[in-house]
Amino acid sequence: MDTLAVEVVAVDTLNPLIRRCTLRAADGAALPGFTAGAHVRVQVTLPDGRSDWRHYSLVCTTPATDTTAPQPHYTIAVRREDAGRGGSRWMHGLQAGQRITIEPPKNDFPLGTHAAHAVLVAGGIGITPLASMAAARRAAGLPVRLVYAGRSRGLMAFLPELQDLLGDALQVHADEERGAPLDVAALLDACGADDQLYVCGPRVMLDAVLAAAAARGWPRERVHFELFTTPVAAAGDQPIELVLAQSGQQFTVPADQSILDCLIAHGCDPLFDCQRGECGVCSTAVIEGTPDHRDAVLSDAEKASGKVIQICVSRARSARLVLDL
């Protein structure tokens, strides 16, 4: 993949957890255009000095901007994840004038041009791709609603811009005001028969929406989603004794490392893309052992079969895992 050298133009604190970062090409040229829902991968430095990549959606809240044309700058927003591996903390340390490396925009979360409503459901920092979608739907004169949920208004980003953009089509749900999380069942029941849902937020929100949609018999294609979490170790995670049946290689996957990262660190070349358990690219056949599924790709039946695993996020319930690699 080509990379782009960019310079940080400005870093603004939007709230105690979220910073907005404006980037321009280091050589002053225009940056490639993008479609709503697109992201860029940013090369970050982890606390142990290793380089890694983090994915941030490109934000545009103004329908007058044609984002598909070459852009003078990109805007991203970064939530600091104190329990993460250090990428977001490094991003929060960026200063104006600093040069960093990104990959050109890529869109794994495309927005439709359907005539029925696009119902955008954002949880926390998951607002970033959906803000661009709201602006794109407005620009195209297509119906859109945005439901933006978070713990408190003080921890949400872009509220004034979204209010200007959407008016009554913006519904803000602050848990601390309502005393309860977003009522996903009521949200789905209020949708029209042809409305399409676009969901971006934490895993718990996505699971609730997918379960409510399935309970109502919605076809899976009506719910478009992007997870907005990077996988973090869960309490009780244990190392895995990993065996690759085809090559005969054996590794120990530490409790705080994904199977995918372990393979890459050992010079293997596994297929992957999203690294968040939602694209399906890293799907791998299981020959022995019990997967601990943490993805949003496999059906319940596939998970129950134990025959396949998404190695970017899932782990093992058994101490040993033999994969068809």
Which residue of 6, 125, 209, 274 would you call a contact of ligand FES, by CB under 6 A? Answer: 274
Q: Does 212 bind ligand FES (CB under 6 A)?
A: no
Per residue, the 3-state secondary structure of 46-86, as one string, reads CCCCCEEEEEEECCCCCCCCCCCCCECCEEEEEECCCCCCC
**Span of 54-62, 86-94, 244-252, 271-279 interacting with ligand FES by CB under 6 A:** 271-279
Considering only 282, 298, 308, 322, the residue that binds ligand FES (CB under 6 A) is 282
Closest approach, Cβ 118 to ligand FES, in A, equals 24
The closest alpha carbon to 119, from 218, 208, 173, 188, belongs to 188
Name the token pair of 110. Answer: 């495309």
Both tokens of 314, joined, read 């899932």
158 lines the binding site for ligand FES (CB under 6 A): no
Within 13 Å and on the Cβ side, how many CA atoms surround 213? 22
CA distance 172 to 309: 36
| Contact between 226 and ligand FES per CB under 6 A | no
Decide: is 257 part of the binding site for ligand FES (CB under 6 A).
Answer: no
Strand 144-150 vs strand 74-79: parallel, antiparallel, or unpaired? Answer: unpaired
Burial of 206 (0-12, 13-18, 19+ CB in 10 A): buried
SS3 of 224-236 = EEEECCCCCCCCC
Among 81, 295, 308, 316, indicate the residue that binds ligand FES (CB under 6 A).
295
Rounded Cα distance, 263 and 253, in Å: 9
**Binder to ligand FES among 80, 280, 306, 318 (CB under 6 A)?**
280
Contact 229, 276 (CB under 8 A): yes
Q: Which one of 15-23, 90-98, 243-251, 266-274 is the stretch in contact with ligand FES (CB under 6 A)?
A: 266-274
Of the ranges 37-45, 49-57, 148-156, 270-278, which one interacts with ligand FES (CB under 6 A)? 270-278
From 31-39, 61-69, 162-170, 274-282, span contacting ligand FES (CB under 6 A): 274-282
State the minimum distance, in angstroms, from the CB of residue 264 to ligand FES: 12
Q: Could you tell me the sign of the dihedral formed by the alpha carbons of 95, 96, 98, 99, in that order?
A: positive
Question: What one-letter code names the amino acid at 8?
Answer: V
CB of 45 to ligand FES, least distance (A): 22
Q: Which is nearer to ligand FES, 166 or 282 (CB)?
A: 282
Dihedral (Cα; 270, 273, 278, 279), 10-degree rounding: -90
Q: Which is nearer to ligand FES, 65 or 283 (CB)?
A: 283
- Output the smallest distance, CB 295 to ligand FES, in A: 6
Least Å from the CB of residue 97 to ligand FES: 34
Under the binding rule (CB under 6 A), the answer on residue 292 touching ligand FES is no
Sole binder of ligand FES in the list 242, 275, 284, 323 (CB under 6 A): 275
How long a stretch of residues is the chain?
325
With CB under 6 A as the contact rule, the residue among 286, 297, 309, 322 that binds ligand FES is: 297
Nearer to ligand FES by Cβ, of 297 and 308: the residue is: 297
Using CB under 6 A, list all residues that contact ligand FES: 272-275, 277-282, 295, 297, 310, 312
